[in-house]
Structures are given as C-alpha cells and as structure tokens.
Structure 1
Amino acid sequence: MGTGDSTMGPGNILILMALLHSGTAFLKSEAYFNETAELPCQFLNSQNLSLNELVIFWQDQKKLVLYEFYLGKENLNNVDPKYMQRTSFDQNSWTLRLHRAQIKDKGVYQCIIHHKSPTGLVPHHQKDTELSLFANFTEPEIVQMSNVTENSGINLTCSSGQGYPKAMKMYFLLKLENSTELEYEGVMQTSQDNGTELYNVSISSYVPLPDGVSNVTIFCVLKAKSMKSREIEICSKPFCRVPRQPSPIAHQPSWIIAVILIFLILCGMACCLWKRKKKQRIVVSNKETTRMEKDTNEETEERMKIYVPERHDREVQCAV
C-alpha cells in the first residue's frame, strides 16, 4: 500500500476495530488440492465507489499480502513471494482467486477495503474467509501377503494415498455367495508427506474365511471426508474369488473328470494292446518251434527212406 496515505488517526482506528469485530463471522470456502480457490470479499458497493478511490487487498492469517489493488492499479510491491503470480482479481464479483491451491494454503484470509478521502485512507469494509482444502485418496489396492490355508484365512494389506484430510476408516469387506457382507478392520497406519502434506494410509489384517462357503469376494473400503462435510467411501477393485477348500473329484468341473476318464481309457487300451502283442509273440514262437520239429522229422524220414533201399539191394545181391 502507498506509505503516504497509510496514516490513520484515532477515529479511523476505532472504525477499523469495529469492522474487525463485525467481521468475526467467517465465510466458508473449499477447494481441491492443486485447483483454484475463491476468496470472496462480499462487497456490495452501495455507494457506487470507483476502483480509483479504493485500496483493496487480501492477507492471510500471518498478515502476508496475497494481492493488492491500489487506486485502480495492481500493486505487486507488497505481495509476498509465495503468492506471486498465483492470484487473479474478479472485479465483477469482488473475489480473489488463488490458483494451484496447496494444503498449506488452508486457513483464514481477510479482504480489506479502504476508501480514499480528503483526510486519508478510511477503513470501509472487511470480510474474513476460512479456506479448507481437500484431496481425494487414490483407489485402494489390495496385496496378498500369504497363501490361503485350508481351514483358516488369508493375510492382506491394503493401501491408498494422496488424500486430505486424514482418512476416517479403512477396512476389508467380504461379500459371500448368499449376499452376506462381513467387515474386518485392521490397525490403520497413517503417514504425511512433508512437502505436499497429503496423507498415505494402509492396513494389514488377517482375514478369516467363513466355513461352508465355496467363494468369497474381497474388497478394501476407505472412508474419508469430502467437500461440504460429506463422507465418501472409495472401494477397491474386487481382489479375488477365494476357493474355500479343495473339493472332491465328484465336485470338480466336468472337463477335469473328462480328462481323467480319457486318461484311464487310454491306459486300459495300451494295456490290452501290450497283452495282445505278447500273446501273439508266444503263438508265433510256438508255431515256429512246431514247424522246425516237423521239418526235422521229415528230413529224418527222408534219409531213412534212402538208406533202407540201399540195404535191401545189398541183401538181394548177397542172396544172389
């Protein structure tokens, strides 16, 4: 602000104190992280004052100036570096827009308007606005830490992040085949990023699986606050459908039974073929033995036929 017009007498101080007292009712403004926040001034300008005769500025709770409009012109000399090139003034609605809002920007802001009179600057209007920031958590993600055991359950971890304010609750939701729903809570671990001030959350829990249920669908649910104090629930994708226990063969899928039957049939056919071939080899061997014996007998008989006549001839000759 201009230093030459900034001196106020006791009367002006009393007026300013009255304005400060009357402005204790805060306006509420909400914005999402990294988006644009609005800081209204709610100045009606019933006297139809010109911007050329007004000094308008916004300051935060640490009295750091965000923006100053001095007698018809922007004045950047008093603007704190953290707000430089992050603001824009809407003259029609008397609203200051704070761009790329960060979590650390939350707090109370004051819009102050002074009117230039022949005696100097006179406090004319003040309005306080409380700014709240929000950031939606990422979709929860489930990770399995161990395998399912036959009669117990499963160890799961669920995590989500980049949210603000703190999450209210995080739990595992089991949906059974008969539409029954079961909740299992774990100890929620919370950490905050030093730079963005956003929160990361996670839970780890042993989730028992109900008896007598063949399949269970598991979700992770995060409950948090959103704008206008609304409670929202962010649900993970279905983690899996967990088989409860291995089923006997009679309850296995039909294609498994078919494969087993085909395997048994092929084994039976292979066994029959092996036995048949073995029998054929024995028959062939017996036939070969019989044939060889027959040939030997025939050869012996032939030799005998030849020998006997020769002996007969000799006998005849001798007889002669």
Structure 2
Amino acid sequence: MFIIQVGSMRGTLVLICQALLWPAVSALFRVEVEERAYEAEIHRDINLGCRFSTVKTNTDLSVIWRRVEPKPDVDVYRLERGRVNHNYTSAVFKERAQLIQDLLNNNRAVLRLTKLRIKDSGTYQCIVKYGDEGDYKHVTLNVTAPYSPIQKTVRQTGRDEVELSCETKGYPSPQVIWSDGQNTKLTERINSSTRFTDEDLINVLSKLMVKRDLVNNYTCAFLMKGEIRKTATFSIPDEISPDGSNQSYVWIGAVVVVLLAIAFASVVLHMRKNGQKTRRNESTKCCLPLPLPSPATNADSLMTVDENRPDTCGTILEEKDNL
C-alpha cells in the first residue's frame, strides 16, 4: 500500500521507512536502566544510570537526559556526537547536572545531580543514540526531607483547658496521630494545618485541646508510609506553668524592672548635679574679695568685716581640701 501526498511525497516516505525500521534498529541497539526508581534526601547528590549496547567509538555517541514528569518536559543534560550542548539545558539543572563521561567507555550513561531539591522529583528519560540507531528508558527520582525535631508548646486558653501543639517540617506530607496515656486515639479532636517553606518543605502544625486538671499523658506522632518517624509526649498537668500564665508575662515583668532601674538612676544623677551646683554657688560667695581699707578705715573695722564672713566658707574650704 502506498501513501502519496502532493508536494510532500519524500517526507512521507521517510516517515514510513522510520516506522518500519525502528523495531529492527531497537533490536540492534538497546538501552537498559540500572535502577527503575531512586530515592534521595534533599541537599544530597545522586547518580541516575542507564546502560547501552557496545559501540566502536564515542565520537558518534549522543546522550540526552530529560525530565518528562511533571510537565513541561525540560532538558537536564545533552551530549551530541561527543560534544556537550547546553543550548537546551534548563537553568534549574545547568549548574547541578553532569554526565560522568569516563563511564561512557563502560557503556554507561550516568547522570550526576548535585544539591538535590524537592522539585527535582519526577520521571527522567535516558536517551542514547549511536549514529542512526537509538533507544531510551525511564527512571523515577523521589527527593525527600527528614522531619525536624518536634517543637512542643503548651498554651492556656481558659480556666479549664490548655492547648497542646506539635510542630515539625519535612517532605512529603505526614500523617498525624494523637493518643492519650491509655492509647486512645484522639485524631477526631485535633486541628492540623500545613504550609510550604522556601525550600518546598511542608511545615505541619497540629493542635489538641485537653482539660488542664485531668492527669494524663498525650502523645503526638508523625507517620510516613505507615511508620512512626517523630513523636513527642506531654505530661498534664505537670507541664502547665504554676501560675497558668504565658511566658510573655515574664518578659513584661523584666521590662518593668529595667524601666524602674533607669528611672532611679536618672533621679540620683539629677540630685548629684543639683548638689554640685549649690556647693559651687556657695564657694563663689566665699571667694568675694574683702573691701580695700581706706585711709580712714581703722583696724577695728577690718576685724569686724572679717568676723561677718559666713561660717559656711570655712566648711566649703575644708571640703575642698579633703577632696
């Protein structure tokens, strides 16, 4: 059967030939994955590998690694006939993706990804071509982040109840379970919320309201794939502050004490300055010169003037000598 299109007969024949010959080519040149699925932690490095049929020389060898899921497709690394081509490489991978070219001699196309991010997760395609022959396979990568230590908080909301909260972050999203000292599940009573961080981690905050005067233990647990990864236990009422107040009151009290100390110091300094000023004025009065005697002035009058000098002058002079 012949398919003829006016003006494009040659192109149509080429497509028909490729479709007919591709199974035969694939049978001659094969690509196989070293592992179908990979898992690694954030900020770590990983090697994704595939093997290909033996070739005579690497000069005509082309290796293309692409991430095809999630959409849109992006180029991760491209080696075309022995030469690196970054013209199509995504900026996300340009500085973090490298093909280990020494392993090409062992018929291995190994892609090395460094400083992994959560968004690196997905399906990758390994395409290897040699001349006119080629084949490809897919591998999956799952980037995770271990959950951080749980931050516990006990907050009084009223006279009879307190709020217990557990907070942690990681990836992927965990399952949160609360239970009491009798291992009774309290999941229906909890209030949990999530938000994404700058690194695409999931911050989980889970809260539970309990009676403050009921002696019991309460445990929050974070599960991943059915396995408990993090737990924290509250002992009530032991972990409730004795006065039932928040730590904010402690800070308020500290601020008040500091302000009182500053005010007291200001008053003392002000009193000292006023005292020094008073003594300085009195000293000035004492230092006024005696009137010069006139020819008519007799010795008795001079003695009378000296006797009328204020007594404080001698005291001030003595204080100066002591200083």
TM-score by length of 1: 0.56
Partner of residue 162 from structure 2, selected from 150, 154, 159: 154
Q: Which contiguous aligned blocks of 4+ residues in structure 1 show a shift greater than 4 angstroms? A: 13-19, 208-211
Name the residue aligned to 1:132: 142
| Distance in 2 between residues matched to 1:198 and 1:53, nearest whole Å | 42
For residues 110 and 141 of structure 1, do their structure 2 counterparts lie closer, same or farther at Cα, with a shift above 3 Å needed?
same
Partner of residue 229 from structure 2, selected from 233, 236, 239: 233
| Distance in 2 between residues matched to 1:243 and 1:98, nearest whole Å | 49
Displacement, 1:69? Answer: 2.0
**Cα-to-partner distance string for 1:211-231 (whole Å, 9 max, x where unaligned):** 6x5xx4443211124xxxx73
Asked if residue 64 in structure 1 is aligned to residue 60 in structure 2, the reply is no
Mapping for residues 48-63 of structure 1, pairs under 5 Å: 48-61=55-68, 62-63=72-73
Displacement, 1:110? Answer: 0.7
**Which 5+ residue runs of structure 2 have no aligned equivalent?**
1-12, 240-323
**Which 5+ residue runs of structure 1 have no aligned equivalent?**
1-7, 245-320
Mapping for residues 278-297 of structure 1, pairs under 5 Å: none
Name the residue aligned to 2:192: 188
Name the residue aligned to 2:47: 38
Percent identity reads 21
Displacement, 1:84? Answer: 0.7
The answer as to whether partners of 1:140 and 1:221 remain within 8 angstroms in 2 is: no
Aligned length: 211
3-state secondary structure, aligned to 2:156: coil
**Cα-to-partner distance string for 1:183-207 (whole Å, 9 max, x where unaligned):** 42212212223x4322111111113
Asked if residue 79 in structure 1 is aligned to residue 89 in structure 2, the reply is yes
**Residue identity matched to 2:79:** F
Q: Computing the radius of gyration over CA atoms, which structure comes out larger, 1 or 2?
A: 1
3-state secondary structure, aligned to 1:137: coil
For residues 82 and 147 of structure 1, do their structure 2 counterparts lie closer, same or farther at Cα, with a shift above 3 Å needed?
closer
For residues 58 and 243 of structure 1, do their structure 2 counterparts lie closer, same or farther at Cα, with a shift above 3 Å needed?
closer
Asked if residue 122 in structure 1 is aligned to residue 126 in structure 2, the reply is no
Displacement, 1:28? Answer: 1.6
For residues 159 and 100 of structure 1, do their structure 2 counterparts lie closer, same or farther at Cα, with a shift above 3 Å needed?
same
3-state secondary structure, aligned to 2:116: coil
| Distance in 1 between residues matched to 2:203 and 2:21, nearest whole Å | 47
The answer as to whether partners of 2:63 and 2:109 remain within 8 angstroms in 1 is: no
| Distance in 2 between residues matched to 1:115 and 1:9, nearest whole Å | 19
Higher relative contact order, structure no. (Cα contacts within 8 Å, ≥ 6 residues apart)? 1
The answer as to whether partners of 1:191 and 1:200 remain within 8 angstroms in 2 is: yes
| Distance in 1 between residues matched to 2:217 and 2:130, nearest whole Å | 66
Name the residue aligned to 2:172: 165
| Distance in 2 between residues matched to 1:9 and 1:89, nearest whole Å | 32
| Distance in 1 between residues matched to 2:156 and 2:177, nearest whole Å | 18
**Cα-to-partner distance string for 1:20-71 (whole Å, 9 max, x where unaligned):** xx99x99222222222233222x242x3443222111111213322112223
Asked if residue 205 in structure 1 is aligned to residue 208 in structure 2, the reply is yes
| Distance in 1 between residues matched to 2:49 and 2:114, nearest whole Å | 14
| Distance in 1 between residues matched to 2:65 and 2:194, nearest whole Å | 35
| Distance in 1 between residues matched to 2:82 and 2:49, nearest whole Å | 19
For residues 210 and 233 of structure 1, do their structure 2 counterparts lie closer, same or farther at Cα, with a shift above 3 Å needed?
farther
3-state secondary structure, aligned to 2:92: helix
| Distance in 2 between residues matched to 1:59 and 1:140, nearest whole Å | 38
The answer as to whether partners of 1:184 and 1:207 remain within 8 angstroms in 2 is: no
| Distance in 1 between residues matched to 2:20 and 2:230, nearest whole Å | 51
For residues 153 and 80 of structure 1, do their structure 2 counterparts lie closer, same or farther at Cα, with a shift above 3 Å needed?
closer
Asked if residue 242 in structure 1 is aligned to residue 253 in structure 2, the reply is no
Name the residue aligned to 1:219: 219
**Residue identity matched to 1:65:** D
